[in-house]
C-alpha cells in the first residue's frame, strides 16, 4: 500500500524549454494511473522509465490543450508497441469524439480495446472502483467543464501476528484468509481466540486529490478533507489576482487556503504561469496560509 506520485509536467499554457504542461504518473496500491496528458507526456514517461504497458487508466481533467493534447500520440504509441490490454480513458463528454476522429483520419485504429468513460455531472461522483482503490470526481470551476480527481486506497486486510499464531497448532494456513478478514478463530474445545489477538491492524489507507485548473472553490473542501496529498493549481501570485476571475485560475495563497480548510497533510503547487521566473515565490505565498507546501517540478517524486 502507499502512494508514489511522479510529476511529469506542471506548467500552464504551451510547452517551453524545460517547462512542460500538466501530466502526472500515479502509483497507488499497485495501480498505475496517468493523470492529464499534455504535449510531450510520452517523452517524459520514457525519461522516468515508466512501463507503458502498466498504465491501464487515464484521467483527463478537461479539454484544454495543455491537459490532453498528448493523449492521441500516447494512444498511437501504445498501438505501435502492439498493446493488447484494455485502456480506460475518463474525461469530459467530447473526449471520445476528438480522439477517435484523429485516429480515424490518420488511419491509426488501435488493436487493443480503447474504452472511454465520458463525464458530465456537476456533482462529485464515484467513477471507478475495484478491490484496491476508488476514484471520485472533484467538480471544479474553470472556463470549460472540469473535474479534479480523488484517489483513495481501500482499507487493506489485517496482518497476521505470527508470534501469536505460532503457539496455536490448530491454526492452519487455510485459516489465514479468515483471520485477515477479521474473523475470530474457534478452537476444537470451543475456546474463541479473538481476531485482535491474532492479527495486527493494517496501515491507514492513503489518499491523493488532484485539483486541476480552477478558480478558488472552497466548496470542494468536504470532498478532499484530510487527504494525505493535495495537488492544487496555482497559476498566479496575489500580484495578479485580478486575472483569476477572467481566467478561472487560482493564486498560490488561495491554494494554501484550500489546504488549510481541508486539513490536508501536504500541499503541492503547480500550473505556474510563464510570467513568473522564480517559482519559489509560490511556495512562500502559500505558506502564509498553510505550512507544509511543496513545489511541483518535472521529474519530482512524492511518496506517502
State the catalytic residues. 66
Q: Looking at the structure, do residues 177 and 76 belong to the same domain, yes or no?
A: no
Q: Looking at the structure, do residues 184 and 57 belong to the same domain, yes or no?
A: no
d(CA 169, CA 186): 12
**Where does a domain end: 200, 226, 261?**
200
Q: Looking at the structure, do residues 58 and 125 belong to the same domain, yes or no?
A: yes
Q: Looking at the structure, do residues 141 and 266 belong to the same domain, yes or no?
A: yes
pTM value is: 0.90
Q: Model confidence over 225-270: pLDDT tens digits?
A: 999 999 999 999 999 999 999 999 999 999 999 999 999 999 999 9
Q: Model confidence over 182-236: pLDDT tens digits?
A: 898 888 888 898 888 878 888 889 999 999 999 999 999 999 999 999 999 999 9
Q: Looking at the structure, do residues 106 and 190 belong to the same domain, yes or no?
A: no
Domain that holds residue 179: 159-200
Give phi and psi for 142, each to the nearest 5: -130, -175
d(CA 7, CA 17): 16
Q: Looking at the structure, do residues 172 and 287 belong to the same domain, yes or no?
A: no
Kindly report the CATH number assigned to the domain that includes residue 133: 3.60.15.10
Cell of 227: 487527504
Q: How many domains does the chain have?
A: 2
**Where does a domain end: 200, 226, 259?**
200
Amino acid at each position: 500500500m502507499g502512494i508514489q506520485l511522479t510529476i511529469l509536467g506542471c506548467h500552464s499554457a504551451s510547452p517551453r524549454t524545460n517547462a512542460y504542461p500538466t501530466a502526472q504518473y500515479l502509483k497507488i496500491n499497485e495501480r498505475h494511473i496517468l493523470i492529464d496528458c499534455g504535449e510531450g507526456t510520452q517523452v517524459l514517461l520514457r525519461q522516468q522509465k515508466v512501463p507503458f504497458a502498466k498504465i491501464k487508466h487515464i484521467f483527463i481533467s478537461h479539454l484544454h490543450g495543455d491537459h490532453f493534447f498528448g493523449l492521441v500520440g500516447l494512444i498511437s504509441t501504445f498501438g505501435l508497441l502492439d498493446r493488447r490490454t484494455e485502456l480506460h480513458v475518463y474525461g469530459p463528454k467530447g473526449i471520445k469524439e476528438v480522439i477517435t476522429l484523429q485516429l480515424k483520419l490518420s488511419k491509426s485504429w488501435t488493436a487493443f480495446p480503447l474504452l472511454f468513460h465520458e463525464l458530465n455531472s456537476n456533482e462529485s461522483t464515484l467513477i471507478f472502483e475495484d478491490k484496491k482503490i476508488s476514484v471520485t470526481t472533484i467538480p471544479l470551476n474553470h472556463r470549460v467543464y472540469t473535474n479534479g480527481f480523488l484517489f483513495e486506497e481501500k482499507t487493506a486486510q489485517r496482518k497476521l501476528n505470527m508470534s501469536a499464531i505460532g503457539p496455536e497448532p490448530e491454526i492452519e494456513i487455510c485459516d489465514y484468509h479468515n483471520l485477515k478478514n477479521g474473523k475470530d478463530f474457534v478452537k476444537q474445545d470451543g475456546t474463541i481466540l479473538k481476531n485482535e489477538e491474532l492479527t495486527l491492524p493494517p496501515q491507514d489507507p492513503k489518499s491523493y486529490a488532484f485539483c486541476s485548473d480552477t478558480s478558488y472553490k472552497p466548496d470542494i473542501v468536504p470532498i478532499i478533507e484530510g487527504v494525505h496529498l493535495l495537488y492544487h493549481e496555482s497559476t498566479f501570485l496575489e500580484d495578479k489576482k485580478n486575472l483569476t476571475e477572467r481566467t478561472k485560475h487560482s493564486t498560490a495563497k488561495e491554494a494554501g487556503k484550500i489546504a488549510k480548510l481541508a486539513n490536508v497533510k501536504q500541499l503541492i503547487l503547480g500550473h505556474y504561469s510563464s510570467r513568473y521566473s522564480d517559482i519559489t515565490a509560490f511556495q512562500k505565498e502559500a505558506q502564509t496560509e498553510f505550512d507544509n507546501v511543496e513545489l511541483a517540478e518535472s521529474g519530482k517524486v512524492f511518496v506517502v
